[in-house]
Amino acid sequence: LKLYDHYMEVLRDGQRALRLLEDFIRDNPVSIETLDLELKLGKANELLIRNWDEARRIYQRIIDTKQNDPIVHEAYFRMGYVMRDGFANYDEALKFWQELVALYYNNEFSDKAQFAIAFTYETYQRDYTKARQNYEKVLNLCPNSSLQNEVRDAILRIEGK
């Protein structure tokens, strides 16, 4: 794991770092530690090299553990973006974010997932009624969210349409 950090931060060799993570995950049984590494590997595939298929496969493997753990919560959250941004499959993206909010209510990604649902309805599906309903859920279900101002701006934007 120290080698991973070394390659990523010091040498900026993402491909080598990814290979190290893949080797470690393959050689070790599933545990919270390997799930954390798989999440890093999924994020690298998604965000750095845009390998959507591999990111989807990794996130799904994490989700399939069905653990109530922040790693699983983040995998659900990231999977929504992979489906929306990588595959333009908006319904599947919405499904993952909705499951995250429903199955693991009040997790650290609840407000962001609810916001992503509303934003997807507004921007990608142009369903302003559902967008407004879901923006309002952020206000009502997550009153301490850092997204409150963005949500209010979005509601005003929708009202202007």
| pLDDT value of position 10 | 44
| pLDDT value of position 106 | 84
For the chain, list residues with pLDDT below 70: 1-18, 21, 25, 28-33, 161
| pLDDT value of position 2 | 52
Exposed, middle or buried by CB within 10 Å (0-12, 13-18, 19+), for 60?
A: middle
Question: Would you say the pTM of this structure is higher than 0.85?
Answer: no
- Taking residue 121's Cβ as centre, other Cβ atoms within 10 Å add up to 22
| pLDDT value of position 37 | 82
| pLDDT value of position 13 | 59
